[in-house]
Structure 1
Amino acid sequence: MSESSTSQQIPATAAEPLSPQVHQSIAEAVDRQLPRTIQTLTELVSIPGIAWDSFDREPLERSAQAVAELLRGLGLQDVQILTEDKPADATGEVRPGGPAVVGTRPASPGKPTVLLYAHHDVQPTGDTALWETDPFTAVEKDGRLYGRGAADDKAGIMVHIAALQALLASENDTGVGVTFFIEGEEEAGSPTFRTFLEAHRDRLQADVIVVADSSNWKVGVPALTTSLRGLVDGVFGVRVLEHAVHSGMYGGPVLDAPTLLARLIATLHDDEGNVAIAGLEQTQTAAVDYPEQDFRVDASVLESVRLAGTGPLADRLWNRAALSIIGTDVPQIEVSSNTIQPVARAKFSLRLGAGMDPAAAMKAIESHLKAQDVFGAEVFFEAGETGLPFHTDTDAPAAQAMLASLQEAWGVEPVETGIGGSIPFTADLMEVFPEATILVTGVEDPDSRAHSANESLHLGDFRHAIVAEALLLARLGAE
Structure 2
Amino acid sequence: MTASRAGAIARAQRGFDEGEYLARLRDLVAVPTESQLEGSLPALTRYCAETMPALMRGMGFEPTVLDNPREGRGPVFVGTRIEDPALPTVLVYGHGDVVRGLAPKWSAGLDPWQVTVRGEKWYGRGTVDNKGQHLIAIDALRAVIAERGRLGFNAKVLVETGEEQGSPGLRELLRAEKHRLAADVFIGLDGPRQTTFMPEMKLGARGGVAFDLVVHLRDHAHHSGHWGGVLTDPGFVLAQAMASIVDRKGRIQVEGWTPKEIPPAVKRAIGALVFEDIPGLPEGDPDWGEPGLTKAEKMFGWTSVIVLAALTGHPDAPTNAVQGEARARLQVRHCADIKGADIVPALRRHLDKHGFQIVRVEPVLERDMFGASRTDPDDPWVRFVADSMQRSAGRAPNVVPNSSGSNPSDMFQEELGLPVIWIPNSYAGCNQHGPDEHALAPLLREGLGLMAGLWWDIGEGQTPRRDAKGTPR
TM, length-normalised to structure 2: 0.87
- 3-state SS of the aligned residue for 1:197? helix
- Name the CA distance, whole Å, in 1 between partners of 2:177 and 2:129: 25
Deviation, structure 1 residue 329: 4.3
Match of 1:283 in 2: 262
Deviation, structure 1 residue 167: 0.5
1:84 paired with 2:68, answer yes
Deviation, structure 1 residue 477: 2.7
Q: Which of 415, 430, 435 is the matching residue for 1:448? A: 430
Match of 1:265 in 2: 242
Cα-to-partner distance string for 1:376-412 (whole Å, 9 max, x where unaligned): x721112346643211223333222211222233322
Match of 2:136 in 1: 159
Match of 1:198 in 2: 175
Distance 1:262 1:63, change over 3 A: same
1:340 paired with 2:329, answer no
Match of 1:66 in 2: 51
Kept in 2, the 8 Å contact 1:237–1:344? The answer is: yes
What pairs up with 1:273-352 in 2 under 5 angstroms? 273-279=250-256, 280-281=258-259, 282-284=261-263, 285=267, 286-288=269-271, 294=277, 297=279, 299-300=281-282, 308-309=288-289, 310=291, 311-352=293-334
- Name the CA distance, whole Å, in 2 between partners of 1:216 and 1:359: 29
Kept in 2, the 8 Å contact 1:76–1:105? The answer is: yes
Kept in 2, the 8 Å contact 1:214–1:225? The answer is: no
1:129 paired with 2:105, answer yes
- Name the CA distance, whole Å, in 2 between partners of 1:76 and 1:345: 51
Match of 1:115 in 2: 91
- Identity between Structure 1 and Structure 2 (%): 25
1:397 paired with 2:377, answer no
- Name the CA distance, whole Å, in 1 between partners of 2:59 and 2:302: 43
Kept in 1, the 8 Å contact 2:204–2:421? The answer is: no
Cα-to-partner distance string for 1:74-129 (whole Å, 9 max, x where unaligned): 2212x12222242xxxxxxxx32212211100132421111111011111023633
Deviation, structure 1 residue 166: 0.8
Distance 1:289 1:367, change over 3 A: farther
Q: Across the two proteins, how many residue pairs are aligned to each other?
A: 444
Q: Which of 28, 31, 34 is the matching residue for 1:44? A: 28
Q: Which of 220, 238, 255 is the matching residue for 2:215? A: 238
Kept in 2, the 8 Å contact 1:151–1:457? The answer is: yes
Deviation, structure 1 residue 253: 2.6
Match of 1:415 in 2: 398
- Name the CA distance, whole Å, in 2 between partners of 1:432 and 1:316: 29
1:214 paired with 2:191, answer yes
- Name the CA distance, whole Å, in 2 between partners of 1:422 and 1:298: 23
Match of 1:96 in 2: 72
CA RMSD between the two structures: 2.5
Match of 1:57 in 2: 41
Deviation, structure 1 residue 55: 4.1
- Name the CA distance, whole Å, in 1 between partners of 2:276 and 2:233: 40
Q: Which amino acid aligns with 1:447?
A: G
Q: Which amino acid aligns with 1:407?
A: Q
Match of 2:468 in 1: none
Q: Which of 102, 106, 119 is the matching residue for 1:142? A: 119
- 3-state SS of the aligned residue for 1:364? helix
- Name the CA distance, whole Å, in 1 between partners of 2:194 and 2:391: 16
- Name the CA distance, whole Å, in 1 between partners of 2:274 and 2:180: 43
Deviation, structure 1 residue 354: 3.1
Kept in 1, the 8 Å contact 2:221–2:321? The answer is: yes
Match of 2:359 in 1: 379
Runs of at least 5 residues in structure 1 that lack an aligned partner in the other structure:
1-19, 87-94
- 3-state SS of the aligned residue for 2:288? coil
- 3-state SS of the aligned residue for 1:117? strand
- Name the CA distance, whole Å, in 2 between partners of 1:264 and 1:346: 11
Deviation, structure 1 residue 130: 4.3
- Name the CA distance, whole Å, in 1 between partners of 2:340 and 2:280: 28
Cα-to-partner distance string for 1:115-148 (whole Å, 9 max, x where unaligned): 1110111110236334352222211122121111
Kept in 2, the 8 Å contact 1:215–1:441? The answer is: no
Match of 1:224 in 2: 201
Deviation, structure 1 residue 461: 1.5
Kept in 1, the 8 Å contact 2:194–2:275? The answer is: no
Runs of at least 5 residues in structure 2 that lack an aligned partner in the other structure:
462-473
- Name the CA distance, whole Å, in 1 between partners of 2:120 and 2:106: 21
Match of 1:15 in 2: none
Q: Which amino acid aligns with 1:354?
A: A
